[in-house]
Amino acid sequence: MKTVDLALLGFGNVGKAFARLLIEKKPELEDDFGFSPRITAIATQSHGVCVDPGGVEESALLSMLDKDMPINLSRLDKSGFRGDTYDFIEKVPAQILFETTPVNPRSGLPALDYLRAAAKRGLNLITANKGPVVYGFRELTELTGQHGKLFRFESAVLDGAPIFSLFRGPLAGAKLLGFYGILNSCTNLLLDRMRDGESLEQAIVYGASIGITETDPSNDVDGWDAAIKVAALSNVLMGQNLTPMDVQPTGIRGITPEMVRSADAQGKRWKLICKGGWQNDGYHVSVKPEMVGSDSPLYSVDGTSSYVSFELDVLPGLGILESDPSPKTTAFGLLADLIDIVKSGVA
């Protein structure tokens, strides 16, 4: 049985969900794919660092996750590690680095620099972070390729739903002409709450209470999270070189309760719609609120669900709906990338 050693950089909700999922799925990975995953190191800014070349003790890690108290990973450290994030990347005993640190939509840093360092060392890279995908897709693909390794990022858009892997596999040979959809589940929920009579501010408070919005919800409300996802899809799937600033999103702050009621009276709903694709005069992208009617597939995409539709030369409309995602959904995208890398024979 082949053992594959993994290092986790970042251990927030997604990192924790991935650790749980990895332990839960371990028997299946061994039986179905012929490898045993082993977490050998975890580094965070707020929970400490642990390194154990023999594998972090799974029962102790699960026990720590299950307790309703602050996590202290240093209790699981067996190496006496001392150093910063770059020391961790350089010394960690692993074949694959998983990066789940916070996204920076304006530069992708510092996550992009962390992944550059790991790629130059010769590690396979897996990230759930949209920033490095937008700002470093080509560079990281080239750097990992120089060492015969891979860069994967399925969880960067639509959590664990297969998007990028579709175009590497089942849709190979099809030409992508454009896409549209709802890529930000937070604003979709907020607009639904406004349809139920809440103001935007009240909806944001509710979103924060269930953990879908941050203390500062501007990245979602002002369209920047959607814009970085449009840039990621455009750069990876359509050969563009865009940043969120190129997208210039319009968020939902201008949508008033009166506008929502007026749309309802017309049998329509407001949605924050993302678009990218080729037109006669070039490549165009947009993120802006639009009204859709019941004849649109976006009309019934409710709550925290997301949807993307692809227009291909051989498939006029291929849609993917993701309903009510959670950190475990995102964690599955990381797991799918892990399986892909192991099956590729580079780990």
- Per residue in 143-159, pLDDT tens? 999 999 999 999 999 99
The percentage of residues in the chain with a pLDDT greater than 70, rounded to a whole number, is 100
User: What is the per-residue pLDDT for 272?
Assistant: 98
Place of tokens 């992508």: 176
Contacts of 187 (CB under 8 A, 6+ apart): 220, 221, 223, 226, 251, 252, 272
User: What is the per-residue pLDDT for 138?
Assistant: 98
Cα–Cα distances in angstroms (integers) from residue 217 to residues 159, 205, 223, 271, in the given order: 19, 10, 10, 17
Cα–Cα distances in angstroms (integers) from residue 3 to residues 26, 98, 266, 343, 347, in the given order: 11, 16, 59, 13, 9
| Lowest mean pLDDT segment, chosen from 2-16, 197-211, 221-235, 280-294 | 197-211
Tell me the pLDDT tens digit for each residue of 47-98: 999 999 999 999 999 999 988 778 899 999 999 999 999 999 999 999 999 9
Residue range 178-191: average pLDDT? Answer: 97
Give me the domains of the chain, ranges plus CATH numbers: 2-160+328-343 (3.40.50.720), 176-324 (3.30.360.10)
Residue range 316-344: average pLDDT? Answer: 96
User: What is the per-residue pLDDT for 68?
Assistant: 74
Helix (H) or strand (E) holding 5: strand 2-9
| Residue of 149, 229, 271, 328 marked catalytic | 229
User: What is the per-residue pLDDT for 213?
Assistant: 80
User: Is 328 annotated as catalytic?
Assistant: no
Q: Is the peptide bond before 37 cis (omega within 30 degrees of 0)?
A: no
Instruction: Provide the 8-state DSSP code for 122.
Output: T
Quote the tokens at residue 24: 């839960």
User: What is the per-residue pLDDT for 67?
Assistant: 84
